[in-house]
Amino acid sequence: MDGIDQVSQDDDPHGTGIGPILTTARTRGRSLTHQVFEKIRSSGRISRSDVAKDLGVSPGSVTAIVAGLMDAGFVRESPSPSRDTLRGRPPVDLTIIPEARFVIGVNMRADQHMAVVADSCGKTLAYAEKSHSAGRMDVPAMLEDLDELIGRVLKTSGLARNQISALGLGLPGFVDHAAGMVHWSPILRDRKVELRAALESRFPFSVQIDNDANLLAMAESWFGVGRKLSDFAVVTIEQGVGMGLILDNAIYRGALGLGLEIGHTTVQLDGALCRCGQRGCLEAYVADYALVREASTAMEWDPRVARSPQQALEMLFDQAKAGNDAARLIFNRAGRYLSLGLANVIRIFDPELLIISGARLRYDYLYAEEVLAEMHSFSDQIGRQRTRVEINTWGDLVWVRGAVAMALSAATEDLSAPARDTP
């Protein structure tokens, strides 16, 4: 049954800011107008003088650019809550106008689709979800599902389609963000789908698509523990295994836009069959379907009894907690393969922080002390400092918040420079 549409009451980011906090080589390479706008957005509220100080530019340049952003309806002045107003002109801070842009974030997975409407400050205004149990979809069916879901979340928000600036969509699989193409996805029957073009021909706003693990990394960079870091990695364990990498405050996708597919790296030659069609992928030993496949054989369950993958996983976990050796062996084996994949991430990319995320982390066998110790064994052996690791389980909304971040980035990408754009 479809979930209840609702207006979100989650944390209001006004005053705290969204987006990466650190200024890096990538952000310094953008126009000064963009740098000023992003500094205000990431700060939540900030004075003109502090913007100039943080960016290392003249106050006059900031004043001229802010005037243009105010005229364009992106920025406004707000009374400063923490400064003395008894003498002289009342001090003011700069804040982003929430109504400047509205965007939609969507995450699609095999069993559930979710959508939110958010404002320019990243605040969720409305939420809707739609259950899905029909297996892989063809493109027309996906478009119909999206049309219905977007219609519902817009109705809840009270906004019309022509008030939306951009849509961000995340889905599992091999997704070429730049080309807007899905080469393969476990939720689609077709391959090489030009999904962005299909969506933009149907909706009156720009569309950005990406692999859902990349969006998880963007969510951490815009709303989570990654805001204060310019470089970190996220590995997610869900129905599949995914990875997102932030380098210099930006998603790293590889030369052809299809990199960082850790779930489809080979960990066993001629090994177990993966749903992508290859053999020996990490996902084929760690993901939901891999655990269920192992359990169906090792636990000698009655094949005549129908069980959903979620029911099977819960049964397997309960058996492991109760001391069943076969169930424990399945989780322990998956944990060893996971430690191998995580260790390779550390060896190749040397991230400042490794975030392990996903709903399956409640199965604590997958991030037990032994798994993390084995992951760190290479560092220990060569005397290298261990990589900092955080376990993060936000809940399902993290995926759509990443899609919101992508949509907001796209919605302000064409931010013009009303004033002269020089320091």
pTM attached to this predicted model: 0.86
pLDDT at 6: 44
User: Which regions of the chain are under pLDDT 70?
Assistant: 1-15, 25-26, 28, 82-90, 134, 359-367, 393, 415-423
pLDDT at 79: 87
- DSSP states of 147-199 as a string? HHHHHHHHHHHT--GGG--EEEEEESSEEETTTTEEEE-TTBSSSSB-HHHHH
Domain 230-351+359-392 CATH (choose: 3.30.420.40, 3.30.200.20, 2.40.50.100, 2.50.20.10): 3.30.420.40
365-372 contacts, C-beta under 8 A, 24 or more apart: 365/320, 365/328, 365/331, 365/332, 365/334, 365/335, 366/237, 366/286, 366/331, 366/334, 366/335, 366/338, 367/335, 367/338, 367/391, 368/335, 370/335, 371/335, 371/336, 371/338, 371/339, 372/339
Q: Which residues make Cβ contacts (< 8 Å) with residue 8, sequence separation at least 6?
A: 116, 123, 124, 125, 126, 127
Structure confidence by residue, pLDDT tens digits, 48-100: 999 999 999 999 999 999 999 999 999 999 888 765 555 556 679 999 999 99
How far apart (Å, rounded) are the C-alpha atoms in residues 298 and 373? Answer: 27
Euclidean distance between CA atoms 346 and 397, whole angstroms: 27
Query: Which pLDDT score is estimated for 65?
Result: 95
Supply the pLDDT for residue 142: 93
Alpha carbon 405 to chain centroid, angstroms: 8
Structure tokens at 19: 């987006």
Cα–Cα dist 148/65, whole Å:
40
Domain boundaries for CATH 3.30.420.40 within the chain: 101-219+399-411, 230-351+359-392
Give the end-to-end CA distance of the chain in Å, rounded to a whole number.
Answer: 56
Coil vs helix vs strand at 97: coil
Give, for 354, the enclosing helix (H) or strand (E): strand 353-357
Give pLDDT, residue 14. Answer: 43
**Lookup: tokens for 204:** 């009156």
Q: 101-219+399-411 falls under which CATH superfamily? A: ATPase, nucleotide binding domain (3.30.420.40)
**Distances from the Cα of 367 to the Cα of 228, 236, 342, 364, angstroms:** 25, 12, 11, 5
CB 204 within 8 A of CB 395: no
Which of helix, strand or coil describes residue 36? Answer: helix
Burial of 198 (0-12, 13-18, 19+ CB in 10 A): middle
Q: Are strands 102-108 and 166-171 parallel, antiparallel or unpaired?
A: parallel
